[in-house]
Each structure stands twice: as structure tokens, then as C-alpha cells.
Amino acid sequence: MNMGMHWVLVQPLLTEKITGLREQTNTVGFIVHPDANRVQVKQAVETLLKVKVDKVNLMNVRGKVKRLGRFSGRRSDWKKAFVTLKAGEKLEMYESA
């Protein structure tokens, strides 16, 4: 699928697990478009955030079934990306969080 780089990265992930990974292995996390692949995520991060990427790992997250009384619904599926930056690279948006 041909999508622009601004459509690939949906939002950054700021969780305790990703904060620990950022400090130990220089890895950051993003919610990405469900149709995006590794190459598109790498190009989007390098172009938009101006850092060098070492590797990209993708994970499909399945939505949970949630209930409210007798009514049940389902959250939507989404895709998560773990982006490992090259040595010496930093993202400024994570430093202030």
C-alpha cells in the first residue's frame, strides 16, 4: 500500500515498559498504521524525526472484548512498533517526558 510518511506513525507510546527499554537498549515505541511494514516505519522515523534507525520490530495487538452490564463490545486491533536507534542517537520528545 502506498501511504505517506505522516500516515505511518500514528502516535508515540509512553509506557513503563518502553521507558525501561529506552534507558537500557535505546529502543522507542510507536503506534503505527495497521498496513505499515518495517521499511515504511524505518523511513518515516528517519525522515520525520531525523535519527538513524538500527532495526524495527512490529507487533499486532488484538483488541479486547469489554462489557458494560449485559452489553459487550470489542476494542479495535492496532499495530505497535519497537524502533531501536543506533548508538549515540536520541529523540528529544522522550527526554522531556
Q: What is the pLDDT along the chain (97 residues), one digit of tens a residue?
A: 567 888 999 999 999 999 999 999 999 999 999 999 999 999 999 999 999 999 999 999 999 999 999 999 999 999 999 999 999 988 877 666 5
CATH code for the domain of 20: 3.30.70.330
Distance of CA 95 to the CA centre of its chain: 17
Q: For the whole model, what pTM was predicted?
A: 0.86
- Placement of cell 463490545 in the chain: 73
- H-run or E-run covering 45: helix 38-49
- State the cell numbers at 16: 513503563
Counted domains in the chain: 1
Q: How far apart are CA 77 and CA 24, in angstroms?
A: 28
* 43 burial level (CB within 10 Å; 0-12, 13-18, 19+): middle
Domain that holds residue 87: 5-65+74-95
- Which DSSP category does 91 fall into? -
